[in-house]
Amino acid sequence: MSASRPYLIGPFDKLKIDVFGIEDLQKNVQIDASGRLSFPLIGVVEASGTTPGELAEIIEMKLRGRFVRDPQVTVNLQETFSQLVTVDGQVSRPGLYPVVGRMTLMRAVATAGGVGEFAKLSDVVIFRSVDGNKLAGLYNLKGIRRGNYEDPEVFANDVIVVGDSQARRLFRDIIEGSSLITTPLIILTR
């Protein structure tokens, strides 16, 4: 299992910044569209692409000496808008979900409430853009569950689509629509 991937701050993320011991420097901030934030005393700071720890160090460096003798800054992620994965298709709750740390295909599907009743487990696609190229990978959730191959890692901006099993849907419709299967056949003769 690979090491945990650090979270990189991006546009529109919401952060809680706390300078220990200075109540006026405890702020909830949102990163702007260009990846910057504005903080009292130091002004605009480039935050996009840094980890929360790196951003804390940048703020400490800008505050040190001129404003605060020995600042101790913590930066915590409150809400993410930049590091998201889309999970769609036959899952319980399709939608956008944050990618914090290492996320795999199975974890992404579980985050979306698991597979739906008509999911085709052998038809799960991950769409990804790499250097302007659009890529698609086909995966089999049943095979991953059995340990036949490793659970692939997913990244921010991936789109996961769990396929629909038409055969399962048709079988259910036949069962529900046919009273003959569940009740005895009665024929009236003269």
DSSP 145-157: HHTSS---EE-TT
Cβ contact 164:120 at 8 Å = yes
Q: 172: pLDDT confidence band, cut at 50, 70 and 90? A: low
Residue 117 lies in a domain: yes
> What does DSSP say about strands 159-164 and 119-130: parallel, antiparallel, or unpaired?
antiparallel
Check which CATH number belongs to the domain holding 109 and give it: 3.10.560.10
- pLDDT given at position 183: 47
Tell me, yes or no, whether 61 and 109 share the same domain.
Answer: no
Q: 65: pLDDT confidence band, cut at 50, 70 and 90? A: confident
Last residue of a domain, one of 32, 54, 79: 79
Domain assignment of residue 54, given as a range: 14-79
Q: Report the 10 Å Cβ neighbour count for 20.
A: 12
Residue 94 lies in a domain: yes
- pLDDT given at position 186: 46
Q: 64: pLDDT confidence band, cut at 50, 70 and 90? A: very high
Tell me, yes or no, whether 101 and 64 share the same domain.
Answer: no
Q: Which residue has the higher pLDDT, 11 or 180?
A: 11
Q: 162: pLDDT confidence band, cut at 50, 70 and 90? A: very high
Q: 152: pLDDT confidence band, cut at 50, 70 and 90? A: very high
- pLDDT given at position 169: 60
Tell me, yes or no, whether 88 and 166 share the same domain.
Answer: yes
Residue reference for tokens 């002004």: 43
Average pLDDT for 131-138: 88
Specify the pTM. Answer: 0.63
- pLDDT given at position 62: 93
- pLDDT given at position 180: 47
Average pLDDT for 38-66: 93
CA distance 149 to 140: 9
Check which CATH number belongs to the domain holding 57 and give it: 3.30.1950.10
CA angle 42, 45, 48 (to 5 degrees): 160
- pLDDT given at position 164: 85
Average pLDDT for 40-52: 93
Residue 180 lies in a domain: no
Residue 53, CA distances (Å) to 1, 73, 109 in order: 24, 9, 29
Cβ contact 75:7 at 8 Å = no
Q: 100: pLDDT confidence band, cut at 50, 70 and 90? A: confident
Average pLDDT for 66-87: 89
Give the residue among 104, 137, 141, 145 at the shortest CA–CA distance from 122. Answer: 141
- pLDDT given at position 168: 57
